[in-house]
A = this chain, B = another copy of it.
Amino acid sequence: MKLRFGIDLGGTSAKVAAIDSRWRIVREKTVSTSGFPTAEPIAERLAEAVKSLNNGKSPSRVGVGVAGDIDFDRGTIRVSPNLGWAKVPLKRLLEKRLRSKVIVDNDANTAAWGVYKTQMPSSVTNLIVITLGTGVGGGLIINGLLHRGATGSAGELGHMVLDPSGRHCNCGQRGCLETFAGGTHITAEARERLQAGEESSLQTVFDHDPESISPKTIAEAAAKGDELALSLWDRAGRMLGRAIGDLVYVLNPQQVVLSGGVSQAQSLILKPLRETLLQRPFKTPVMSVKISVAKDPAQIGVIGAALL
């Protein structure tokens, strides 16, 4: 059986997986990536994990998805805040340890590629995938190809500016899409509003342990009708709808797919998202675009990496 190998490399752990010809994960390993001062020992552990999934041998190809600014041609991580890396030649580090061709790409690109290759009908060749996790990223499929752009930086739609006087974003701007729809910001805003005493079913939980407030607990509270929680997801949906409206006007995709850890909140987000999008006056592109949620968001990145 011909297997393909992918790595989804994050700040605390990496998922390493082998997928079969039907694009199902058949073997996988999780490798811890925190607590290492340099990239070399992480590359070493990733290489070992890949070989262990392939009966101790180097496979011919390995695809890697990494959160950060990636120089795709060189396979270098220009900067990855999550990993604390700058100028790490990951492709070279892995190829030194594996006799494999290694391809390194941004993790939103690998997620987009995974969605495109395994979850879309063949008629869909123009597609935007939005990854909603702690941050907000994106990957563009244009004419059936991953659009990486001039420097491999394309798809940074989480930092489109929606409100120049809005919340400070980690990136240095204010009012990025990510400040409305990223898990870290939604959580921070919930804690601030609870701290200020706003009425909510989350108050007791918050008073007991502020750290227990998370996108998951906020989604659960919203599902039970909590106004504060509902307002946060509603706003996330509306701001996503506004950004997607701009993207639909510019790129006119066939489909927009939401992926990432948002799945628990999808029903809360999709309604305000669609309502906002449908307010756009140019009906041709707006009525033709399909909005959906990716299946298996936790696996789609490593599957896309393996299929690079």
Interface residues of A (CB under 8 A from B): 69, 78, 126, 138, 140, 142-143, 145, 147-157, 159-161, 164, 171-173, 242, 245-247, 249-254, 280-282, 284-285, 288-289
- Cα separation A159 to B286 with both chains bound (whole Å): 13
- Cα separation A151 to B289 with both chains bound (whole Å): 9
A138 contact set on B, CB distance < 8 A: 250
A164 contact set on B, CB distance < 8 A: 242
Can you tell how many copies of this chain the complex includes? 2
**Is A250's CB under 8 angstroms from B247's CB?**
yes
A156 contact set on B, CB distance < 8 A: 249-250, 252, 282, 285
Question: Contacts A150-B285, A160-B246 given; 10 further ones with Cβ under 8 A?
Answer: A142-B142, A149-B253, A150-B288, A152-B252, A153-B252, A156-B249, A156-B250, A156-B282, A159-B281, A250-B250
**Is B150's CB under 8 angstroms from A289's CB?**
yes
Given known contacts A126-B149, A280-B173, A157 and B288 CB-to-CB distance under 8 angstroms: no
- Cα separation A284 to B69 with both chains bound (whole Å): 8
A78 contact set on B, CB distance < 8 A: 284
A172 contact set on B, CB distance < 8 A: 281
Closest to A155 in B: B250
Sort A-B residue pairs by CB-CB distance and give the 8 closest, nearest first. A149-B252, A154-B252, A153-B285, A172-B281, A156-B249, A150-B254, A160-B246, A153-B252
